[in-house]
Amino acid sequence: MNSPQNSNVWFAVSLGLLGVIVGYSAASFTGSGTGDAIAQNPPSAPAVVAPPEDVPGGPVPAVDASADPIRGDSKAKLTVITYSDFQCPYSKRHHPTLAKVLETYKNDVNVVYRHYPLSFHPNAQKLAEGSECAKELGGSAMFWKYADAVYGDTEGTDFTSAAIVALAPKIGLNEAKFKSCLDSGKYAQKISDEMQAGSSAGVRGTPGSFVYDNRTKKSRYISGAQPFDAFKSAIDAMLAGS
């Protein structure tokens, strides 16, 4: 027969274990709603504002005007380099934030898109290849026109290869040339290389952004679809220090 003292001990232990379980669950949930992680589908948690971080990995590849689609003043002091996935709902949420950055910092900041298609988004790879085909056929301006069309889509299309090809004439591209480029797979390696470089720099999901000083090569990392104020904080601090 258990004594009252033993019963009290076991009751206390049970409460302690329950607290650990609840605490672990809450920790796993908090902060997971700002971006798509590599190994899991996007959760439904609300966005959590995170402060800019020091670059979490190796060096961020410098902006290359011959390879990177630049939006904004090509001679700007800072660049927001965003590693994104065209099928990621958080990258879609992030897209208007980039537009606000450009509107606010017209002469000081430009934007560069780099590829980070996640494996659990089945059409992300071909969407990425399509953007490079758009750039080949129409330059950086056409790349961003394509990106605006993809992220602005409200028709619920699943963006199969056929749907991607059908997008070409809507944004002013020759459909046959675009299809030939997309079918060739010629940009698959470039996309893979960008994703590997992003991972080496510390990107672990989409969107993953770096506020990058083009003169000093210093960066600040912003994880997930953070609101404009998170970018403003990092940009203002870097402009003040440049």
Q: Over the chain, what is the mean pLDDT? A: 84
Q: Has residue 106 got a pLDDT over 70?
A: yes
Nearest by Cα to 141 from 115, 119, 166, 173: 173
Structure confidence at residue 4 as a pLDDT band (50, 70, 90) = very low
Residue 96 has pLDDT above 80, yes or no: yes
Please tell me the pTM assigned to this model.
0.80
Q: Is 69 left (phi over 0), alpha (psi -120 to 50) or beta?
A: beta
Q: Where are the domains of the chain?
A: 48-62+70-241
pLDDT at 210 over 50: yes
- What is the SS3 string spanning 73-121? CCCCCEEEEEEECCCCHHHHHHHHHHHHHHHHCCCCEEEEEEECCCCCC
What does the pLDDT look like over 17-73, one tens digit per residue?
A: 344 333 333 333 223 357 776 544 444 444 445 556 666 778 999 999 999 999 999
Percent of the chain with pLDDT over 90: 72
Q: Which CATH class, in words, describes the domain spanning 48-62+70-241?
A: alpha beta
| pLDDT score recorded for residue 190 | 98
* pLDDT at residue 40, rounded to an integer: 41
> How far from 168 is each of 85, 128, 165, CA to CA, in Å?
19, 14, 6
139 vs 74: CA distance, rounded Å: 14
Examine the pLDDT at 16 and tell me if it is beyond 70. Answer: no
pLDDT at 111: 98
Please tell me the number of Cα atoms within 13 Å of 33 on its side-chain side: 11
Span of 2-6, 63-67, 167-171, 189-193 with lowest mean pLDDT:
2-6
| pLDDT for position 105 | 98
Cα–Cα dist 87/41, whole Å: 12
DSSP 3-state assignment of 208?
strand
Gyration radius (Cα) of the chain, Å:
22
Half-sphere exposure of 52 (CA within 13 A, CB side): 22
Pairing of strands 36-37, 208-213: unpaired
Beta-bridge partner residues of 37: 205
